[in-house]
């Protein structure tokens, strides 16, 4: 079985680089930026800005909670596509500096996720497979969908290989 590091950090880095590629295409597409960053699939869903912020946070918190990486504060104050891209760049640099050794032997470590209305307890492995990875890809996919919905010229290969990686 691959290590927890191998199934998280490289996947997060690849996904975030692809998301950065999507946002770069959005900047160049000519669609009104405010309509992009405020876009929602439906009224009770979060806008594009929060989708990007949460994708970054999910990756960062997996490294902190499972990989024992040092905390990284990132306020949720981005308002433009360029600021969202800068957040992605900061998150990728953080993840690329994470020591894989911090993940070793953490499969059964207790991970407690405190949410406003509940608390969830996982093992390191179940946090990765049952929460972090699904949550990351949910927000990545919603961000992609919002950009497509608003007319940004992106397709499946941009989502899968936009960061320059072979699909």
pLDDT by residue, tens only, the chain of 167 residues? 789 999 999 999 999 999 999 999 999 998 999 999 999 999 999 999 999 999 999 999 999 999 999 999 999 999 999 999 999 999 999 999 999 999 999 999 999 999 899 999 999 999 999 999 999 999 999 999 999 999 999 999 999 986 665 44
Instruction: Please name the residue that has the structure tokens 């999910």.
Output: 58
Q: Which of 167, 149, 127, 137 is nearest to 19 (CA)?
A: 137
Task: Give this prediction's pTM.
Answer: 0.94
Q: Which residues contact 34 (CB under 8 A, 6 or more apart)?
A: none
Report d(CA 102, CA 99) in Å as an integer: 6
Domains in the chain and their CATH numbers? 4-161 (1.20.120.450)
């Amino acid at each position: 079985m691959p290590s927890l590091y191998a199934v998280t950090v490289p996947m997060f880095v690849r996904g975030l680089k692809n998301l950065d590629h999507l946002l770069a295409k959005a900047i160049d597409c000519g669609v009104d930026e405010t309509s992009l960053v405020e876009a929602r699939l439906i009224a009770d869903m979060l806008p594009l800005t929060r989708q990007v912020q949460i994708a970054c946070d999910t990756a960062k918190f997996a490294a902190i909670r499972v990989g024992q990486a040092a905390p990284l504060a990132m306020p949720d104050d981005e308002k433009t596509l360029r600021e969202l891209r800068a957040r992605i760049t900061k998150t990728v640099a953080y993840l690329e500096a994470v020591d894989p050794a911090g993940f070793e032997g953490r499969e059964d470590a207790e991970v407690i996720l405190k949410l406003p209305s509940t608390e969830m307890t996982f093992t390191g492995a179940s946090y990765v497979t049952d929460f972090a990875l699904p949550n990351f890809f949910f927000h990545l996919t919603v961000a992609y969908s919002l950009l497509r919905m608003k007319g940004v010229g992106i397709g499946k290969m941009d989502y899968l290989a936009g960061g320059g990686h072979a699909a």
